[in-house]
Amino acid sequence: MSQQIKIKNALISVYYKDGLEPLVRLLAQQGVQLFSTGGTEQFIKDLNLPVTAVEDLTGYPSILGGRVKTLHPKVFGGILNRRNLNEDKAQIAEYEIPEIDLVIVDLYPFEETLKAGGSEAEIIEKIDIGGISLIRAAAKNFNDVVILASKDDYATLQQQLEEQNGETTLAQRKAYAKKAFHTSSHYDTAIFNYFNTEEPLTLFKQSINTAKTLRYGENPHQQGVFYGDLDEMFTKLNGKELSYNNLVDVDAAVSLIDEFTEPTFAILKHTNACGIASRETIGQAWDDALACDPVSAFGGVLIANREIDLATATEINKLFFEVLIAPSYQPEAVELFRAKKNRVILQRNAVELGKKQFKTLLNGVIEQDKDLIVEGPDQMVTVTEKSPSADELKDLFFANKIVKHTKSNTIVFVKNNTLLASGVGQTSRVDALKQAIVKADAFNFSLIGSVMASDAFFPFPDCVEIAAGAGITAVLQPGGSIKDADSINMANEKGIAMVTTGIRHFKH
């Protein structure tokens, strides 16, 4: 049953007035009596349309600096009365309460005030009371009432009222109620998280307003959805829609590149860097990053922290890749990339990223602080007889950044601000080391004079012994093993430097 109901009375009270005029004019044209408050009431009057002040309905003015305007039985009785119950009909007749069939209300800009750095007093005043109550009341009574809690729905309701002679169906009202409850729950989550700051956190609440259905999830038989605003994060200049796997790689790429300030290019495959280099120009960085592992680079995700010029774009264009990310592009570079319509070209926007991360696990969610620490030369403690040189310290710092963003267990070889090879995601550290040595040899990279970094301590001295035999001159590890002395002694025996940082960088 459609249960079509004609709108006779409407309560309109909104903070933002943009886009409201056409709908208000239509309601007046269809003979709907309008009730309103404050600025919205004046807005309607300025349109030369009839409107009744809520205070004339309730017999009470707006009080307490506007904190109390609509909180009255004549308002909420008009919204919550059940049209099919004789008892409700009798009571609203007794107390002269009009049936309110449409509520258009938005909420004070709490999140916007918070983001703008408002004072505590300003933020608290943006906790809406009357608006949130109106939304919940109207949504609860969707059988008889239409609730619009977002300006995004103005045009939709206007079209429905035009096509249906001022009436709405039950399905339409229920759909608006669903959106309204999302608005109220999202708003309450933002307020809760503002107060929920004491560590350790004991309650978890998250709400995201936007969602995008993906082609599929990690594999074609899995459904996938991204919750978030990609348009805020990136301006897409070319290409198809990002896939689930693209997004996972893009996230890893952004996290990695943010560690570097000098011109740097990184190439990632399955969230791990298969090539990365820092140079004086982004073109040089691209050449040396690609040389690290041109085989794995095929179909990878590329990211730079400098503008992509035409010369660099010409070289990149020779490789098949999935996604390219940069802060800016020369117009000619964009035109070159657009020759292949499926390649995704993203221009990164300045967006502050959160400092927490979470994921579903078992029958719940785990949350943690993001790993925002990376130890530089000042945090490297020399534990061997030989100290690293200034150049070795610089390379160890570079290697430590890569280790932090590579799947454990991992070993990384670096020389001259360039990744030579890495062993990733292995079940033992010595296997990761051997994998890295094999990869370096496969691309004719000599490890003589390079440095090695490990994401966690060495349980045995075998890694140090094998790496020294391959030619490394310095090694970085967090330390903390009960057998640290064995690895330190091995480094001394082989004549190489070792530093510890005290910070482990597992990445599962």
| Catalytic positions, written as ranges | 140, 270
**Pairing mode, if any, of strands 451-454 and 474-477?**
parallel
The span from the CA of 328 to the CA of 334, in Å, is 10
Q: Which two tokens stand for residue 170?
A: 């039950």
Residue 460 CB burial class (10 angstroms; 0-12, 13-18, ≥19): middle
Say if CB 431 and CB 455 are below 8 A apart. Answer: no
Burial letters for 384-404: b for 16+ Cβ neighbours within 10 Å, e otherwise? bebebeeebbbbbbbbbbbbb
- The Cα diameter of the chain in Å comes to 97
DSSP state of 309: -
Q: Which two tokens stand for residue 359?
A: 């994921």
The span from the CA of 211 to the CA of 233, in Å, is 14
**Pairing mode, if any, of strands 364-369 and 356-361?**
antiparallel
AA letter at 275: G
DSSP state of 68: B
Helix (H, G, I), strand (E, B), or coil: what is residue 370?
coil
AA letter at 44: I
The set of residues, in sequence order, having a beta carbon less than 8 Å from that of 157 and lying 6+ positions away, is: 23, 146, 148, 168, 176
Helix (H, G, I), strand (E, B), or coil: what is residue 423?
strand
For residue 213, what are the β-bridge partners?
Answer: 225
The span from the CA of 341 to the CA of 348, in Å, is 19
